[in-house]
Structure 1
Amino acid sequence: MDNRSDIWRGVDTIKGRFIELADRVWAMPEVCYTEARSSAEHLAELRHHGFRITENVAGIPTALMGEWGEGGPVIAFLGEYDALPGLSQEADVAEPRPVEAGGHGHGCGHNLLGSAALLAATALKDWLAAQKVPGRVRYHGCPAEEGGAAKTFMVRSGVFDDADIALSWHPHSFWEVSVTPSLANTRADFIFTGRASHAAASPHLGRSALDAVELMNVGVNYMREHMPSDARVHYALLDTGGIAPNVVQAHARVRYSIRARDLPGMNELVERVHKIAQGAALMTETKMEMRIISAVSNLLPNTPLEQMLHRIMEELGPPHFDEADMDFAGKIRATLSEKDIASVYHAIGMEETDRPLADFLVPLDARRNPLIGSTDVGDVSWVVPTVQLHAPTIAIGTPLHTWQVVAQGKSAHAHKAMVQAAKAMAGLGVQALLEPDLIAAAKADLKKRTARVPYVSPLPGNMAPPLDMSVN
């Protein structure tokens, strides 16, 4: 307890710099692989605190690593700082009010995520220096979580091979250990090429790439009845071939996100979608190219780390919100539907409350009905014991990837929650450094989970990080 109290005081001592970092990154939202300014802010903070710096990690210009310490276990903290397109929003207002029409915004709270992870890493570094305990702390600046799978490329490059445990967190409605599974996910573009022609005078000479895309989408929609109920398939049209209806469209492009419970299931589903695309090309006499954009694995849990993190979060307690925090969160809550709020309580298996912010810890054994997404943290969890927590940075029920998240991204309650998340992660880092048995148990848990199905990267061959995917 004394060691955890020491590091929690250490977090409080330096937290101001990292709250400012979170706010600066909030104000410069950059999407998938374009996070030049945001990563530079994190790099400058690492240099300020005396970390050894590695840039251009895994060949990604906006990926970085800071390390401090010698010998002993390696404790890795995973940070993110990418934003989402089209979610520009003013801070601290409870109505849609874009800063820039069509601009980007931190609709998943990654401005907070990276800052708190770096805060935890820095506090642990300071504790190591004061206690003269052997060990290394690393902060991994990970871009492009939103669809770019940067961590998957980093895993493939061996970035985490000698880490003993990895810690992360995510902004959320609740204070809890994250035990929700995630779905393996592949993003792929299907690019159709046909033949242009005058749509009235010589339609028989044209071969429509847009028809091929539409037929592919119809085929995938019919497939939904015949795929596992927990699988997910979504698509977005990137190129419809132009705006002239009297021209047969010679090119068209659709991007698919294909998710399944695990890697084998995902790979099977990807192949089925590929066959549908081939059929659409055959029907329209067009050519089709399938281009994988990114891929991530499902998340593996780690029971020893989850149990210890829960005990630390219980001891630490949730963030202490005041009346002003509750008032602003209540205004945000008023913009949500009853279904928004009910769905998140259903996900954790708890009865609804009238609290606008979560000032309670969700039991580790709650009867959850999880809302499942995908994350490239999944790939890290296959090669190093990994654990995550959620902290209540948003009013209960706020859907992620919305303007409401952006509006709360610089709020006092979000700052309090990110600091509390940093304390929990730093506390677990101390525990792992002082208890070798915890690391050993975590590694044994991972070994058992991967014994029958070892990790194989979901990325094809020597595919390079898609650094230009946000402009394609």
Structure 2
Amino acid sequence: MTVTETDLSPDGEFSPGMSPTDSAVVQSDRAELISAVTTIVSEHLPVFTDLSDAIWDHPQLRWEEFDAVERQIAIAEQHGFRVNRKLGGIPTAFSAEFGHDGPVVAVLGEYDALAGLSQASGSTSPTPDPENTTGNGHGCAHHLLGAGSLLAAVSVAKYLQARGLQGRVRYYGCPAEEAGSGKAYLVKAGAFEDVDAAVTWHPVPNTSTRQWLSLANINPVFHFRGVAAHAGGAPHMGRSALDAVELLNVGVNFLREHMLDTSRIHYAITDAGGESPNVVQSQASVYYLVRAKTVREMRELYERVLKVARGAALMTETELTVEIQGATAELLPNEVLERAIHSITEHVGPVPFDDADEAIAKQFLSQYPESEVAAVRQRYGIPRDDYATLHGTVPALTPSVPRHQETGSTDVGDVSWVTPTVQIFSASMAMATQAHSWQWVAQGKLPAAHKGMAHAAKVMASTVVELLTDATLLSRAKEEFREVTERMPFSSPIPDGVVAPPLRGSND
């Protein structure tokens, strides 16, 4: 089977340059492939639905996803995958590979949760999960992301094995996507050097095959150290580290007027220096997240934030140390792969939601103002007369329309700069649901979420099989990647000498 970019229109239909007979053959071959892959995914879905739910039940934060890792490794080994633990030296990173010859196509998975988002499954009001003792929650649905990606990889392995085909599918268990840059550290360690292409997905409210642009970011922690003193008896002897944190925050607030509209700066005070107001705080720390459209813009903005931090230390006569937690690059799309995955998605069809899914989604959608729901529909090109609460269509692929610029970040961006990368966004919760919210967590184990995961697995597995069996498609994707990266060489956003947080101070 050979499908090329020039053979297909942006929507995967017949276009000038190939005969109607050829078009019919291509579509017939693809339909047969997708049918076979869909059957395999469906056969194995119950195990991976249970896996997803188990990871939701045990939400662990970045770099600490030991439960999810062990669960995923056990299943991968059961299906004949060769597992490489502690990938890049990171305890909660691993890869699992099936096959021995031919090209390598990666499937990317995640499994980290977020702090403070414990929520009872299915509850349509803010209700912490009574069985959750951590306070964490899967507010970005990485429990679905990892389980769905591993399901896709296993399904590819079953397809190749049944037909005696060559090719290697490699699943990457990637930690710490949430402000941790797990994949960025793996890229810097060379973990993707022999990968020919990568495929992944993300659960979202709206299905899309057009990749959204993301922001590059860097995550510094500013530690200030001052001098403790009796705040009432000898305040002149003290040098307040908390004052330095507050001055940094005030300075950055003034900086916000003088940065690009697409840039973002966020912070969280992680150490306020103690609970006694009559003691001058001798230490305090604040965790920053600096985002911009490109690595270059991010570095420029970060340098300005760093100057403000140094100024805060100078004003308070405190000492400043900076600890970089991680950094990620912006996403580099691949048009050839997007067209291929879109055509496959059209064959698979939309996520098959039913009336019961719609009914509960309507309850979650009622949590949001009408204006916000309307804005989301407009952003994703959903017709005004489409009042469905779940996104049950496959939007057309329109390369002529500028890509949507998201103001969030993903470490998939770093992978996309070292190998051709594509992802499918599969609807898995009510429209307008905001990520990193209790509503997102609450919907993570519902049937609609499981259907979104199954949908993504079918699309990803079919795409991987096509890449492994169609040398022309893979070659065109790599050629596009080469042309772009020759003009814009990749530079890791992680400064040299910075290692992943769990490796700091380690002798491993």
The verdict on a shared fold, with TM-score over 0.5 as the criterion, is yes
- Measure, in 2, the Cα distance between the counterparts of 1:2 and 1:397: 35
Instruction: Give the letter aligned to residue 444 of structure 2.
Output: G
- Measure, in 1, the Cα distance between the counterparts of 2:403 and 2:486: 27
Please tell me whether the aligned partners of residues 188 and 290 of structure 1 are also in contact (alpha carbons under 8 angstroms): yes
Instruction: Give the letter aligned to residue 266 of structure 1.
Output: M
Please list the CA deviations of residues 81-117 of structure 1 after superposition, one character each: whole Å capped at 9, or x if unmatched.
1111111111122111111476111111011000110
Please say which of residues 186-195 and 236-245 is displaced more in the overlay.
Answer: 236-245
The equivalent residue for 2:275 is: 243
The equivalent residue for 1:439 is: 474
Instruction: Say yes or no: does 1:363 pair with 2:393.
Output: no
Change (3 A) 1:178 1:145: farther
Please list the CA deviations of residues 326-371 of structure 1 after superposition, one character each: whole Å capped at 9, or x if unmatched.
1111111112222432332233243443111000112222666443
Instruction: Say yes or no: does 1:48 pair with 2:78.
Output: yes
The equivalent residue for 2:99 is: 69
- Measure, in 2, the Cα distance between the counterparts of 1:433 and 1:461: 35
Instruction: Give the letter aligned to residue 393 of structure 1.
Output: S
Change (3 A) 1:74 1:369: closer
The 5 A counterparts of 1:21-420 are 21-99=51-129, 100=132, 103-352=135-384, 353-365=386-398, 369-420=404-455
Please tell me whether the aligned partners of residues 185 and 296 of structure 1 are also in contact (alpha carbons under 8 angstroms): yes
Please say which of residues 51-60 and 364-373 is displaced more in the overlay.
Answer: 364-373
Shift of 1:457: 1.3
Please tell me whether the aligned partners of residues 347 and 368 of structure 1 are also in contact (alpha carbons under 8 angstroms): no
Please tell me whether the aligned partners of residues 347 and 370 of structure 1 are also in contact (alpha carbons under 8 angstroms): no
Please tell me whether the aligned partners of residues 80 and 114 of structure 1 are also in contact (alpha carbons under 8 angstroms): yes
Instruction: Give the letter aligned to residue 125 of structure 2.
Output: E
Please say which of residues 35-44 and 8-17 is displaced more in the overlay.
Answer: 8-17
- Measure, in 1, the Cα distance between the counterparts of 2:404 and 2:417: 24
Please tell me whether the aligned partners of residues 346 and 368 of structure 1 are also in contact (alpha carbons under 8 angstroms): no
Q: Among the aligned pairs, what percent are the same residue?
A: 45
Q: Which runs of 4+ in 1 moved over 6 A?
A: none
Please tell me whether the aligned partners of residues 76 and 167 of structure 1 are also in contact (alpha carbons under 8 angstroms): yes
The equivalent residue for 2:483 is: 448
Change (3 A) 1:214 1:229: same
Instruction: Give the letter aligned to residue 491 of structure 2.
Output: V
SS of 1:451's equivalent in the other structure is helix
Shift of 1:22: 0.6
SS of 1:217's equivalent in the other structure is helix
Give aligned pairs, total: 469
Instruction: Give the letter aligned to residue 398 of structure 1.
Output: T
Please tell me whether the aligned partners of residues 100 and 167 of structure 2 are also in contact (alpha carbons under 8 angstroms): yes
Change (3 A) 1:101 1:16: closer
Instruction: Give the letter aligned to residue 197 of structure 1.
Output: A
- Measure, in 1, the Cα distance between the counterparts of 2:279 and 2:503: 29
- Measure, in 1, the Cα distance between the counterparts of 2:352 and 2:83: 35
Shift of 1:3: 1.7
Instruction: Give the letter aligned to residue 281 of structure 1.
Output: A
Please say which of residues 446-455 and 24-33 is displaced more in the overlay.
Answer: 446-455
- Measure, in 1, the Cα distance between the counterparts of 2:461 and 2:163: 14
- Measure, in 2, the Cα distance between the counterparts of 1:299 and 1:145: 14
Please tell me whether the aligned partners of residues 96 and 171 of structure 2 are also in contact (alpha carbons under 8 angstroms): yes
SS of 2:382's equivalent in the other structure is coil
- Measure, in 2, the Cα distance between the counterparts of 1:185 and 1:339: 30
Please list every run of 5 or more consecutive structure 2 residues that lacks an aligned counterpart in the other structure: 1-30
Shift of 1:234: 0.6
SS of 1:272's equivalent in the other structure is helix
Taking structure 2 as the reference length, the TM-score comes to 0.90
SS of 1:294's equivalent in the other structure is strand
Please tell me whether the aligned partners of residues 177 and 306 of structure 1 are also in contact (alpha carbons under 8 angstroms): yes
Please list the CA deviations of residues 201-237 of structure 1 after superposition, one character each: whole Å capped at 9, or x if unmatched.
2111111111111111111111111111111111111
- Measure, in 2, the Cα distance between the counterparts of 1:16 and 1:349: 33
Instruction: Give the letter aligned to residue 295 of structure 2.
Output: L
- Measure, in 1, the Cα distance between the counterparts of 2:362 and 2:235: 58
SS of 1:467's equivalent in the other structure is helix
- Measure, in 2, the Cα distance between the counterparts of 1:221 and 1:50: 53
Shift of 1:463: 1.7
